[in-house]
Every structure is written in C-alpha cells, then in structure tokens.
Amino acid sequence: MALVSGGLDSAVATAIARNDGHDVIALTFDYGQRHRIELEAARRVSVSLGVARQIVAHLDLDLVGGSALTDEIDVPKNRPLIDSEAEIPITYVPARNLIFLSYAVALAEVHQASQIVLGVNAVDYSGYPDCRPGFIEAFQRCAAMATRVGVEGNAVRVTAPLMEMNKSQIIRRGLDLGVDFSLTHSCYDPDESGLACGYCDACLLRKQGFASAGAPDPTRYVAGVS
C-alpha cells in the first residue's frame, strides 16, 4: 500500500515499490485540502503507475484546522527555503502523517498489505516534524502493538524509500523509473485552473529540484512564472 498524495515525492516512492515488483494499493486522503487539484493528480498518478486499485479515504480534518493548507490563511511566498531543523511552517497540519499512517495501518490489515510506502524525506521537507526518521520508527513500533497482525508477529512495515534523498535525487530516480512528473502537483496555492503559483515552499523546492537534477521542469505555472 502506498500513500499517493498527487505530489512528486509520493509518485516516486510508489514507482520504486512498483519497480521492486510489488502490487500496490494507492491510498489517497481527501481531507478538505484547499488545493483540490491534488486529488485529481493523485488519481492520474495512480493510473499511470499501474496500481492495482486506488482507495480515496475521506477524513474530516476541518476540526483540526490551524493550517494554511486547510484554513483560509495565506500561504507564505518566496521565502528562503528553511533547513530541516528549522521552525515548523504555517502549512503544518497537526499530526497529519500520524493520522494518515494510522488509517493506512488499519486499511493495510484489512487488505493484507505487508508494507506501507510513504514519500516523506528528511532532507528537503520544510520542517514538518512527522516526516522525520525517528517518527517513522516510533510509529512502526506503536502500530505493531495496535493491530491484530502486529500482535501475531506480522506487523505492517512502514518504509520511506526517499527519506535520505534530496529533491534533485528524487527527481532523477523518478525519471529513471519513467515517472511522468507532468501528472504530479506540488503547489500549495494553485490558481483556479490548477496552475502552480511558483513561489510557495512547495513550488520553490520543486523548481530547485528540477534545476539541480538538470531536468526540464514540466510544471505549468501561472502566467509570468517559469
């Protein structure tokens, strides 16, 4: 089972799992994200990577709020990219990966999936606490104690194949595996037609990644941005 958000990282993580010979169930969360274009991207990515099926799970994170990704808070633009130990950005959604992974563990047990593949990485990840290796390890220990399969000695494994890669390495690996990045969406603040803003953290990281990888950036930006 792979968490597919519609973004670049989860597409590459899923492509790696497919390339390793795994049948993959794509799991996408519809959590009321402002950038709904992500959900369409997740569908296209799942189809293009030949997953066995895609499950879209509805999660009501409106109550959690407090984030520029779900609330009407301005997404920061054109700020210096922060390093991995820096402050947590306003786009942080409290405990989001914890909630997503908990749900994924339940679904993995039901669908007898032995592994959950996650596209997080600790290098270019914009300071989210629940993208760190320590969190993934702690979660796995916890999940093993929360489930029937875990108690029976067959705990679902959580793997984050991109954890030690930077954006440029992720893009190169994706290109090697034939990932069509034009299907993916990263921007936190797209316009109504889905064009990327070019200046939020996600756009800046993505642009920098394609530049460092020496690969053309297939992203469609709003007029005047390249």
Summarize as ranges the residues that interact with a second copy (CB under 8 A): 55, 57-61, 63-66, 88, 92-99, 101-103, 105-107, 109-110, 129-130, 132, 134-135, 138-139, 141-143, 145-148, 150-151
Q: CB-wise, 95 or 211, nearer to a second copy? A: 95
Q: In Å, how far are 13, 119, 130 from 160, measured between CA atoms?
A: 7, 6, 12
Q: In Å, how far are 81, 148, 204 from 76, measured between CA atoms?
A: 11, 43, 11
In the complex, least distance from residue 140 CB atom to a second copy, rounded to whole angstroms: 9
Computed on alpha carbons and rounded to an integer, the radius of gyration of the chain in Å comes to: 17
Measuring CA to CA, which residue among 218, 133, 123, 226 is closest to residue 170?
123
Alpha-carbon gap, residue 1 to 17, rounded angstroms: 9
In the complex, least distance from residue 127 CB atom to a second copy, rounded to whole angstroms: 9
Residues 6+ apart with CB under 8 A from 143: 101, 102, 105, 150, 155, 156, 158
Q: CB-wise, 142 or 222, nearer to a second copy? A: 142
Measuring CA to CA, which residue among 88, 90, 39, 87 is closest to residue 68?
90
In the complex, least distance from residue 102 CB atom to a second copy, rounded to whole angstroms: 4
Residues 29/57, Cβ–Cβ less than 8 Å: yes
Q: Identify the three-state secondary structure at position 145.
A: helix
Q: CB-wise, 150 or 161, nearer to a second copy? A: 150
- Give phi and psi for 30, each to the nearest 5: -100, 100
Q: CB-wise, 102 or 212, nearer to a second copy? A: 102
In the complex, least distance from residue 62 CB atom to a second copy, rounded to whole angstroms: 10
In the complex, least distance from residue 55 CB atom to a second copy, rounded to whole angstroms: 7
Q: CB-wise, 88 or 178, nearer to a second copy? A: 88
In the complex, least distance from residue 31 CB atom to a second copy, rounded to whole angstroms: 11
Q: CB-wise, 40 or 62, nearer to a second copy? A: 62
